[in-house]
Structure 1
Amino acid sequence: MPRRPTVYDVAERAGVSIATVSFTFRQPERVRESTRAAVLVAARELGYVPNASARGLAHGRTGALGLYSFDLMLAAPQQGADGAAPAGDADDLDPDADPRAFPLYVDEVQRGYELECWQRGQALLLSSGSGSGASVTEVAGRVDGLAVFPGPTPVGTLEHVARRIPVVAFSIPPVADGLHHVTVDNRAGMRDLVGHLVGDHDLRDLGFVGRLTTPDYAERFAGFREAVAAAGLDAPAEPLDPTDLAEPHRFEVVASLAAEDRLPRALVCASDQLALAVLDLLAARGVPVPERVVVTGFDGILAGRLARPTLTTVRQPMAAMGRLAVQVLVRHAGAPAEEPESHLLPVRVVRRESCGCPPALA
């Protein structure tokens, strides 16, 4: 293979020092315009590209931030209301057919993360996997800071990584784990949502749908119970239907109650993706929403605006979460042992047709 051109080759051709070549690419405002132009011409003629990795190694930095997700990435569109996957090869399916085929919560947080990195001139490494300690550690070795979505990675692994580089955990309640935390006020959001259903729509029979497999879902159920109790109603000890979308047999309780016409007046779902699947199930069984059953979600993903009826939900500031994570990592770059930051962002209820309100604009 031909030898790759180096900074020395560019400096020789442009007739400048290697320091001037370095400044041209890293701090161009410090180089005269005519000199900068000469360096860029020489680099283009030689096919020279600055080696950020080598430069970072010299300073103990990689110049990149990482973003790691787990099984939130859906490889194929969601199953239908009957629990069966769509027919045909997943690669042949129209990606615009159902926006719920994509992890839109992850997408929106990632978009904010990407925008903040771009505005700061920060390189970004996106990665996903099973959540094994080895896969997370391997990614951590290639970045100056890492943000992680909720997943199965052992806390001990993240704590180990956090001793070397700063780590931001999304949507995980802050504990003494050495990690920075960016979360939202799930309890307050759910209390506000239930307060709207009870106070504005006079609904007294509500059921919670969703398995409490994540800290977010557990906090939302706790907020649901608090609001129901505050309204003078009996607070359930467990969700009405503890369905997880990954299960082959989903919404068995909701389906059974629908068949017997014993559904509660409102189904409050732990997430928008659960709520959208419930809307599909009810539509397939001829149960009108919101006339017979009110359905609500939580997250505020785009698919909720596209549903029919449009979905009442609680909107998380997902892009702001991604941006904030980058800001935290930049502040703590090179100093992972500093006192961790913890941020709790507010949420807001978005009233739409699935609860009986006119569709909102946001």
Structure 2
Amino acid sequence: MSDHISPTDTFEEVLDSGRSELSAARSEYDALEQTEEVPSALVEAISDLERELEELDQTLNVGDEDLKLARETVQRVGVLTDVFGALRERQRTIVEADVSRIEHYVSGIVTLARDHGVATHTPHDLEALERQNSMLAALVNKGRHEKVLTNDRVTPGEVDAAIRQVNAELTTEVSDGHRAETYESITEALLDEIHEMLSSLEQKNPDRTAYSSDLGSVKSLLESIDDTDDTSAAQIAHTALEGALMLHYAVARTLANQRVAVALADTVTDSELSVDCNVDQCVADGDAETLIGAITDAVDTEVELSMSERLRQLLNEHDGSVLRTAQATDFDVATILDHLEQLYNDGQISDLEVTFDQ
């Protein structure tokens, strides 16, 4: 029995892998669309590539050129999936950092309130805040990062607002000295995470040192606490805490962009995609946006080129007739005419002929 695989079978296997990849791309996009701003060209590419696969699937006599086109299309689908995957990684990084930051805040303030027997009068009691905090952490642990931002029961912003209300109430219920100690403890935990995130940036990334001044200010505030009275200590420690919270927020987003840049650089290398930017520099700078834009433009261009090439083949199969090609495929006449101009300008069509009804 021969193990030879026919060109048609190979062609079908390639298309099946493309459909599977496209389904993965849609899943990644579905998890992004409600919380992230995704370039419209990437969204449009999903439909364009789906149409390419459908057009290829109509091929009856599979030749080497058809197989080549199918593989090129599937490769672009893979690039698209990788881009959405990188954007999802940015989402995950930011959500995990935001939940962790709030967790430090909630844990410290709730413990302070309980240790001093404070019954808060805010709309959110301590137990409710802990449950909400645990809910957010559970969603992260289950990999449901998008649900942290879109679920109906609780969001990081709501928990942050609630714990700030509790903290404000403690200013008249707990001594300045004890509050200062708690603020210091939360700040130090946040600083540890900030330094860990900064150390994960590329060595040449200017953001590794961009936050030095602000970090130095927070640390100086903490160091000055011992030389003041309790009232001043609480005020200074709270200022340091607010600074650490803002820095943690900003650095998390810097790290997220760094991870996106690294992931997209790997995609460009693996796919041998030609992009109009310095990939290595983007990685060094953690410049995700430039890479996203360049890859989006490249994918969009490749899709257009592929559609033009596919139309050239279809027109050839139908003796150059635009009407017969439109009737036999999903391409409408207007789309075919748009691509005809490009094919003519590229020298792939030597002449155009108009036939009138008699």
TM range (shorter): under 0.3
**Normalised TM-score (structure 2):** 0.23
Comparing both structures, which one devotes a greater share of its residues to helix? 2
